[in-house]
């Protein structure tokens, strides 16, 4: 009997221990992913909301290291080496801490990923520290938000926003060295059999404002190697000709691209060519 009673007590204690009400988190966890140049960037953080409380100087403490969110410290990772505001950072995962004042924020990358919030943070674990200005936009962000903006071929800004406080920093990926090495290997030092390789090289030279004569040579080879002319290739040819100052040839190419786009039922390229022609006929 005693054994039965003890077993019942154990079951009751177990039930009390494990019985819990499932509640929504006050600061839900969010994952942000994006491609910046050739780097995959991932941010994992918890998102607190103001809920009528003062954020600047209180929920975001001034002159104190902050976890950049809620709960565990925010984590940021890069698949390749990057630059943060011009500072080199090796590929890998880091804890993202910040230290705010009213006018500026110190961005901190720490190699210690194990701390809950900023408890236990030590500057000896810092991999990088740099400062950026703080803005106070009129728009209200009720919930703490990290987002990307202002994308280019090799960079984007990462924004930290809450209430009327905003800080951002630039992430840059070392795109040019990687792409130029591929162009040298596959185009300059070789003869591609795939016309799209010539087209890609020409497009990159155009987008980055490199040698326009070389870009024209490559897009011409792309067109020569294609079974039939493609409107997107001819449109690139028209843009390169325009940059080289060959206005009449550029207009002719744009008209040809527009005709091919109409046949291919692509109104976007029709409009692009109309816009290019209008700019050249001014």
pLDDT in tens, 56-80: 999 999 999 999 999 999 999 999 9
pTM: 0.84
Helix ranges (H only) for 151-211 are 175-183, 195-207
Provide, rounded to the nearest whole percent, the portion of the chain with pLDDT above 70.
93
> What rounded mean pLDDT belongs to the chain?
93
Mean pLDDT, residues 138-150 = 97
| CA atoms within 13 A of residue 5's CA, in its CB half-sphere | 2
**Buried residues in 131-143 as b, exposed as e (16+ CB within 10 A):** ebebeeeeeebee
Mean pLDDT, residues 230-238 = 98
CA distances from 96 to 18, 64, 69, 111 (A): 34, 14, 10, 9
Beta-bridge mates of residue 65: 99
> What's the DSSP call for residue 124?
G
pLDDT band at 11 (very low <50, low <70, confident <90, very high): very low
Query: Check: CATH 3.40.50.720 for 175-280?
Result: no
- Which tens digit of pLDDT belongs to each residue from 121-143? 899 999 999 999 999 999 999 99
> What's the DSSP call for residue 119?
T
Find out whether 38 and 152 touch, Cβ atoms under 8 Å.
no
Mean pLDDT, residues 150-160 = 98
Mean pLDDT, residues 99-109 = 98
Find out whether 43 and 31 touch, Cβ atoms under 8 Å.
yes
What does the alpha-carbon distance between residue 111 and residue 125 come to, in Å, rounded to a whole number? Answer: 6
pLDDT greater than 80 at residue 14: no
pLDDT band at 2 (very low <50, low <70, confident <90, very high): low
Mean pLDDT, residues 245-271 = 98
Two tokens, residue 194: 């795939």
pLDDT greater than 60 at residue 28: yes
Find out whether 161 and 148 touch, Cβ atoms under 8 Å.
no
What pLDDT does residue 115 have?
79
Helix ranges (H only) for 171-264 are 175-183, 195-207, 212-225, 231-243, 247-263
- Determine how many CB atoms are found less than 10 A away from the CB of residue 236: 24
Two tokens, residue 211: 């040698």
What does the alpha-carbon distance between residue 118 and residue 110 come to, in Å, rounded to a whole number? Answer: 11
What does the alpha-carbon distance between residue 3 and residue 256 come to, in Å, rounded to a whole number? Answer: 92
Domain ranges across the chain: 29-173, 175-280
- Which tens digit of pLDDT belongs to each residue from 202-221? 999 999 999 999 999 999 99
Helix ranges (H only) for the chain are 2-18, 175-183, 195-207, 212-225, 231-243, 247-263, 267-280
């Amino acid at each position: 009997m005693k054994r039965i009673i003890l077993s019942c007590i154990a079951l009751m204690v177990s039930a009390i221990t494990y019985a819990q009400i499932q509640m929504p988190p006050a600061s839900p966890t969010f994952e942000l992913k994006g491609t910046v140049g050739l780097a995959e960037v991932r941010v994992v953080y918890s998102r607190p909301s103001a809920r009528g409380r003062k954020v600047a100087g209180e929920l975001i403490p001034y002159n104190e290291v902050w976890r950049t969110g809620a709960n565990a410290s925010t984590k940021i990772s890069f698949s390749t080496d990057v630059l943060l505001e011009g500072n080199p950072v090796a590929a890998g995962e880091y804890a993202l801490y910040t230290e705010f004042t009213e006018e500026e924020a110190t961005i901190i990358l720490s190699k210690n990923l194990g701390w809950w919030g900023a408890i236990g943070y030590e500057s000896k674990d810092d991999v990088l520290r740099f400062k950026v200005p703080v803005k106070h936009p009129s728009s209200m962000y009720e919930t703490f938000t990290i987002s990307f903006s202002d994308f280019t071929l090799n960079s984007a800004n990462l924004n930290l926003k809450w209430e009327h406080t905003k800080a951002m920093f630039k992430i840059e990926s070392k795109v040019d060295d990687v792409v130029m090495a591929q162009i040298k290997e596959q185009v300059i030092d070789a003869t591609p059999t795939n016309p799209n390789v010539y087209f890609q090289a020409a497009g990159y030279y155009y987008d980055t404002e490199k040698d326009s004569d070389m870009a024209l040579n490559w897009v011409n080879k792309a067109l020569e190697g294609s079974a039939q002319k493609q409107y997107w290739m001819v449109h690139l040819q028209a843009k390169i000709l325009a940059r080289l100052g060959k206005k009449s040839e550029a207009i002719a190419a744009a008209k040809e691209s527009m005709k091919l786009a109409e046949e291919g039922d692509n109104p976007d390229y029709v409009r692009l060519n109309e816009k290019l022609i209008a700019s050249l006929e001014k």
